[in-house]
């Protein structure tokens, strides 16, 4: 039964707020390389063909008599139009409203915010780098009509918009729609009329979409016979030696939706117990939604070249920045998506692909340090998640990790570098976790390590607080936070021989320590002499048991820990202020204020605030008054 207009009159809809924002950005984009719109449309068309092939496994009738997927581009120079048509799955009315009136992709909002916050030129570059799907056609068209008929349905729909405030959806006679699939008509803007020239379309398709796994045809005018532009051969089925790096890049761009160069390409065919091909890429830059909590891996699973799903978890979570696909003949075509998750074959494939990717990164680290460091800068924080998630590969991932350290200057150091240069008798790999490198470099806790030339890893990624607690060892040395427990530095000589090692505390200073311990008992668990301080008077450390201070702050911030453990206040027994206060046993109120002020000073050095700002201000005022009198 054909849908009647009386049942479904033409409806007007306004765009969801985010779509409107995105469209505004597209239309006003100064991005010069507008060609990218065609890649987006072709990629959607190819996805639609792949979805149909998948649904047709269970319902072969969907293919009817037209089994071969294709994408046809029709040029209409006279009418100033470009048509992109596929015989894929098509869209129902509701699917159209959902897909072309809202933004489903996670992270798009974050992406838009980045574009809006950036300077004009940079924002435009971002658009070019990532592409923004269907809506990019409004960079070249002032009206877009989408006619679609879902496979197996007896109705067809027209979606139409000028890309400004909204769009309309109306039923149209099936005789005006493709038998199955979607036809998108772009009414080109005056400065975009070159997209009706065969020469430019052919160039763009070959450059951008030459390896889309659905054949692309071109018709020079409406009604003309279409000739083939690309044959739809799946790139991954070819031998590595027959593929140029341009072809890989083109394919990567299609599969990742990013328009940069891949930083690393891993392409192999596994034979033996399980047979499959894998083609995986590490992107050349961070995808904009990399840190979106909903972001999933984007490796596609094909069975005998039929796309099955991109939710098969073909890689461990921490490798979710890798894009690409696995194609296997070992799974049955009609395997359900649920069964896939539990399949032993898939587990074996996951292991094989993960190993190959990590080995490829390791090789890159050896053969091309700069290229590897770019990967590390973009994705190191994710790779480090693997240190606590992937027990089997922990030591491999630790070896791969690179760090800023007190000895690295602007370069990176590996744990192997660290161990090679460790002091004689040094049992631990020391680290300090915090929010930024500058803050870490200014930490009082570092002073004693610096003075003795002991290297300390400076860790600033939020994941660092977690993996360090799980990876206690590298080449026999345990990882140890310099803000937790005792520093045990006395066994190492200071490099600056002029400064004598501190003698055991004088009785006076010791008495002040005991006094402070009693006074501050509500706020700290201990007050003790420090061997990690040189210039600063005080610092806070966590006790050996429990969490390190930085992790405690993160857990508290996330509401996963109610209150932190009391820290330990360490005091520099050689510090002139400490000595001077210790000498004033005759002035109890002064000692009292000093004890609390020293604690607050340690808090501030830790990036915190004084616990009681008012009491702090009063104590400070009293002290200044005394000094000024």
- Give residues in contact with ligand ATP (CB under 6 A): 40, 44-45, 48, 86, 88-89, 91, 99-100, 104-105, 133-134, 182, 257
- Least distance from ligand ATP to the Cβ atom of residue 91, Å: 5
Which of 397, 400, 399, 414 lies closest to 457 in space, CA to CA?
414
- Under 8 Å between Cβ of 182 and 206: no
Task: Between 73 and 605, name the residue whose CB sits nearer to ligand ATP.
Answer: 73
Phi-psi region of 88 (alpha: psi -120 to 50; beta: other; left: phi over 0): beta
* SS3 of residue 502 by DSSP: coil
Q: Which two tokens stand for residue 4?
A: 């009647």
Task: Between 252 and 412, name the residue whose CB sits nearer to ligand ATP.
Answer: 252
- Least distance from ligand ATP to the Cβ atom of residue 49, Å: 9
E strand spans, 150-253: 156-161, 166-172, 181-188, 216-219, 227-230
- Under 8 Å between Cβ of 299 and 325: yes
- Least distance from ligand ATP to the Cβ atom of residue 166, Å: 17
Q: Can you give the three-state secondary structure of 569-601, one letter per residue? A: EEECCCCHHHHHHHCCCCCHHHHHHHHHHHHHH
Strand order in the sheet with 264-270: 264-270, 276-282, 323-328, 298-303, 306-309
Task: Between 232 and 448, name the residue whose CB sits nearer to ligand ATP.
Answer: 232
- Least distance from ligand ATP to the Cβ atom of residue 479, Å: 39
Task: Between 49 and 204, name the residue whose CB sits nearer to ligand ATP.
Answer: 49
Angstrom distance (rounded) from CA 34 to CA 132? 12
| DSSP structural state of residue 148 | E
- Under 8 Å between Cβ of 433 and 551: yes
- Least distance from ligand ATP to the Cβ atom of residue 613, Å: 49
E strand spans, 11-165: 11-14, 71-76, 81-86, 141-149, 156-161
- Under 8 Å between Cβ of 201 and 170: no
Nearest residue to ligand ATP on Cβ basis: 133
Task: Between 105 and 203, name the residue whose CB sits nearer to ligand ATP.
Answer: 105
Tokens 């020391």 sit at which residue? 430
Angstrom distance (rounded) from CA 381 to CA 387? 10
- Least distance from ligand ATP to the Cβ atom of residue 260, Å: 15
- Least distance from ligand ATP to the Cβ atom of residue 147, Å: 11
Task: Between 91 and 463, name the residue whose CB sits nearer to ligand ATP.
Answer: 91
- Least distance from ligand ATP to the Cβ atom of residue 570, Å: 52
- Least distance from ligand ATP to the Cβ atom of residue 363, Å: 30
Q: Which helix (H) or strand (E) holds 62?
A: none
Task: Between 91 and 440, name the residue whose CB sits nearer to ligand ATP.
Answer: 91
Task: Between 44 and 208, name the residue whose CB sits nearer to ligand ATP.
Answer: 44
- With 0-12 / 13-18 / 19 or more C-beta atoms within 10 angstroms meaning exposed / middle / buried, residue 217 is middle
- Least distance from ligand ATP to the Cβ atom of residue 288, Å: 11
Task: Between 19 and 541, name the residue whose CB sits nearer to ligand ATP.
Answer: 19
Task: Between 83 and 91, name the residue whose CB sits nearer to ligand ATP.
Answer: 91
Length of the chain: 629
* SS3 of residue 66 by DSSP: coil
Task: Between 180 and 404, name the residue whose CB sits nearer to ligand ATP.
Answer: 180
- Under 8 Å between Cβ of 598 and 537: yes
- Under 8 Å between Cβ of 110 and 225: no
- Least distance from ligand ATP to the Cβ atom of residue 177, Å: 13
Task: Between 69 and 601, name the residue whose CB sits nearer to ligand ATP.
Answer: 69
Which of 484, 489, 482 lies closest to 425 in space, CA to CA?
489
Angstrom distance (rounded) from CA 220 to CA 9? 35
- Least distance from ligand ATP to the Cβ atom of residue 346, Å: 23
Which of 367, 294, 235 lies closest to 105 in space, CA to CA?
294
């Amino acid at each position: 039964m054909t849908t009647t207009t009386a049942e479904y009159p033409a409806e007007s809809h306004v765009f969801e707020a985010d779509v409107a924002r995105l469209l505004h950005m597209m239309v006003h984009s100064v991005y010069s390389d507008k060609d990218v719109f065609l890649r987006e449309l072709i990629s959607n068309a190819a996805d639609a063909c792949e979805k149909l092939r998948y649904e047709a496994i269970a319902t072969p009738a969907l293919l009817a008599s037209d089994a071969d997927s294709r994408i046809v581009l029709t040029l209409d120079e006279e009418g100033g139009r470009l048509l992109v048509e596929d015989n894929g799955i098509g869209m129902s009315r509701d699917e159209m409203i959902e897909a072309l009136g809202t933004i489903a992709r996670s992270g798009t909002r974050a992406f838009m915010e980045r574009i809006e916050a950036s300077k004009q030129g940079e924002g435009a570059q971002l658009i070019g780098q990532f592409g923004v799907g269907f809506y990019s056609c409004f960079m070249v068209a002032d009206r877009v009509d989408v006619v679609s008929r879902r496979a197996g349905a007896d109705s067809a729909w027209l979606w139409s918009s000028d890309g400004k405030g909204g769009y309309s959806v109306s039923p149209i006679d099936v005789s005006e729609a493709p038998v199955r699939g979607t036809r998108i008509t772009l009414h080109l803007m005056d400065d975009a009329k070159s997209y009706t020239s065969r020469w430019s379309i052919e160039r763009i398709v070959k450059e951008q979409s030459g390896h889309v796994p659905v054949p692309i045809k071109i018709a020079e005018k409406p009604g003309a016979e279409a000739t083939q532009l690309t044959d739809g051969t799946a790139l991954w089925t070819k031998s590595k030696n027959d593929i140029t790096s341009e072809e890989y890049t083109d394919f990567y761009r299609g599969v990742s939706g990013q328009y940069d160069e891949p930083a690393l390409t891993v392409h192999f065919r596994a034979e033996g117990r399980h047979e499959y091909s894998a083609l995986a890429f590490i992107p050349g830059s961070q995808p904009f939604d990399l840190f979106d909590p909903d972001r999933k891996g984007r490796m596609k699973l094909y069975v005998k070249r039929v796309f099955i799903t991109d939710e098969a978890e073909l890689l461990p979570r921490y490798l979710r920045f890798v894009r690409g696909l696995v194609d296997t003949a070992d799974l049955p075509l009609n395997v359900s998506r649920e069964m896939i998750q539990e399949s032993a074959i898939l587990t074996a494939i996951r292991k094989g692909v993960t190993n190959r990717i990590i080995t490829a990164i390791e090789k890159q680290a050896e053969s091309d340090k700069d290229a590897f460091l770019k990967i590390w800068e973009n994705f190191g924080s994710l790779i480090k998640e693997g240190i606590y998630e992937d027990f089997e590969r922990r030591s491999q991932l630790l070896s791969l990790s690179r760090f800023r350290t007190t000895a690295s200057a602007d370069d990176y150091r590996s744990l192997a570098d660290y161990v090679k240069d460790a002091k004689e008798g040094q049992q631990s790999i020391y680290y300090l976790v915090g929010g930024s490198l500058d803050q870490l470099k200014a930490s009082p806790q570092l002073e004693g390590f610096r003075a003795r030339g002991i290297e300390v890893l400076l860790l600033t990624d939020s994941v660092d607080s977690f993996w360090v607690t799980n990876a206690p060892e590298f080449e026999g040395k345990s990882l140890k936070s310099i803000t937790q427990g005792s520093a045990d530095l006395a066994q190492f000589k200071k490099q600056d021989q002029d400064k004598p090692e501190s003698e055991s505390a004088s009785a006076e200073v010791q008495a002040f320590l005991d006094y402070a311990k009693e006074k501050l008992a509500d706020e700290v668990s201990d007050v003790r002499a420090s061997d990690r301080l040189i210039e600063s008077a005080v610092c806070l450390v966590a006790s050996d048991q429990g969490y390190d201070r930085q992790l405690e702050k993160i857990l508290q911030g996330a509401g996963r820990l109610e209150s932190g453990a009391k820290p330990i206040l360490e005091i520099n027994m050689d510090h002139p202020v400490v000595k001077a206060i210790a000498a004033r046993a005759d002035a109890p109120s002064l000692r009292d204020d000093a004890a609390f002020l020293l604690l607050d000073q340690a808090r501030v050095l830790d990036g915190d605030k004084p616990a009681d700002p008012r009491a702090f201000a009063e104590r400070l005022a009293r002290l200044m008054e005394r000094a000024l009198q």
